[in-house]
Amino acid sequence: MKKYFLARLVQLVPILFGITFLTFGMMQFAGDDAVDKIFEQAGSVSEEVKSAKRAQLGLDQPFIVQYANWLGGILTGEAGKSFISGKLVFETFVDKLPATIELMLVSILLTIFIATPLGILAAVNRNRPLDFFIRGLSFVGNSMPNFFCGLLLIYFLALKLNLLPIIGQSVVLPALTLTIAMGAKYTRQIRAVVLEELDKPYVTGARSRGVDEITILIKSVLRSTLVTIITLLALSIGSLLGGTAIVETIFMWDGVGKMAVDAILMRDYPLIQAYVVWMAIIYVAINLAADLLYHWLDPRVRYGDSS
């Protein structure tokens, strides 16, 4: 296990290098009109002032030098200052991160607690009305863009029924928005896994020995569902991270997603770079963790291929 873990860590080095290079290159490619943007409100500003600002921000140096400086900054947590606020981008990012983590955790927990029973219920009632109903719900959730879903929830739950506060206070509506899309996928997969498991010989064996269905479900089927949920979590964390950007913007939730969208509109490149790099690193780290957990839970894949 330890050897496998170390091997995986070594594999990550070129990937992290690639992530940072690509992110930096992308923003560089975007041009340096950030300085123009900063002075936009000030009206006409002389070229000297602008180039002084460029020098101050380090924008006049060659690409590789800028990249090396910036990479050093990322590693020490001092990756540049925001063009707009002048604060260290890492600090801003760390400031906003807890709100996003809260939103993600609530969504994940809601999803697991809603999708697991729904998926199992659908599988147990295969091809009966309840199964069709749950599959219908899952299909609708899967075809609904999260921005439409969020606006519908605001309109019906907050504006029409006055059930919940809309903006920036309660985590319920933004989390529910993310849960609907994610839960739809989970329900479907969990149903498929439970169906597959219920078809296996050991279940038939248990049934023939007179073990009741509930015991079979809890003792055997739930364990395989757990492995599925971990796989699903690793797979869906990417779309969840992307989803937070849209949902946070709709609900004015003060997390890193909204920060990034605002930064893009302001052309605040250092902040966008920090956002993309850290999101990718979080994504890679979560995938690694899920992988290790998966190996630990399912001995069949343990020490298997490490490709």
Partner 1 sequence: MKKLIPYFAAAGILIFVAVFANFLTPFDPYAQNLSDALTPPNAQNLLGTDRYGRDVLSRVIVGSQTTLCASLLLLATISIVGSLIGALCGFHGGKLDGFLMRLSDIFLAFPQMVFAIAAAGALGGGLLNAAAALAIIGWPKYARISRGLVLSIRSMPYFDAAKMAGSSSTKILFVHVLPNIAGTLLVTAALDVGTIIMELAGLSFLGLGAQPPTAEWGAMMNNGRSMLQTAPWVIFAPGTAIFITVATFNLLGDKLRDFFGRTE
Residue 187 binds partner 1, judged by CB under 8 A: no
Among 92, 111, 116, 146, binds partner 1 (CB under 8 A): 146
Q: Which residues contact 228 (CB under 8 A, 6 or more apart)?
A: 189, 190, 193
Contact criterion met (CB below 8 Å) for 39 and 50: yes
Q: Return the residues of window 244-303 that contact partner 1 according to CB under 8 A.
A: 245-246, 249-250, 260-261, 263-265, 269, 272, 275-276, 279-280, 283-284
- Judged by CB under 8 A, the stretch of 22-30, 59-67, 88-96, 295-303 that binds partner 1 is 22-30
Burial 77-89 (b: 16+ CB within 10 A, else e): eebbbbbbeeebb
Give the x/- contact pattern for partner 1 in 120-139, rule: CB under 8 A: -------------------x
Closest-CA residue to 93 (of 267, 250, 271, 254): 271
Minimum Å distance from CB 210 to partner 1?
32
| Cα-Cα-Cα-Cα dihedral sign, residues 143, 144, 147, 150 | negative
User: Cα-Cα-Cα-Cα dihedral of 174, 177, 182, 187, to 10°?
Assistant: 130
Q: Which residues contact 238 (CB under 8 A, 6 or more apart)?
A: 283
Q: Which residues contact 114 (CB under 8 A, 6 or more apart)?
A: 179, 183, 187
Contact criterion met (CB below 8 Å) for 71 and 93: no
The size of the chain, in residues, is: 307
Give the x/- contact pattern for partner 1 in 45-84, rule: CB under 8 A: ----------------------------------------
Among 2, 13, 14, 47, binds partner 1 (CB under 8 A): 14
Q: Return the residues of window 81-120 that contact partner 1 according to CB under 8 A.
A: none
Among 148, 202, 296, 303, binds partner 1 (CB under 8 A): 148
**Site residues, partner 1 (CB under 8 A):** 14-15, 18-19, 22-23, 26-27, 29-30, 139-140, 142-148, 151-152, 154-155, 159, 189, 192, 237-239, 241-243, 245-246, 249-250, 260-261, 263-265, 269, 272, 275-276, 279-280, 283-284
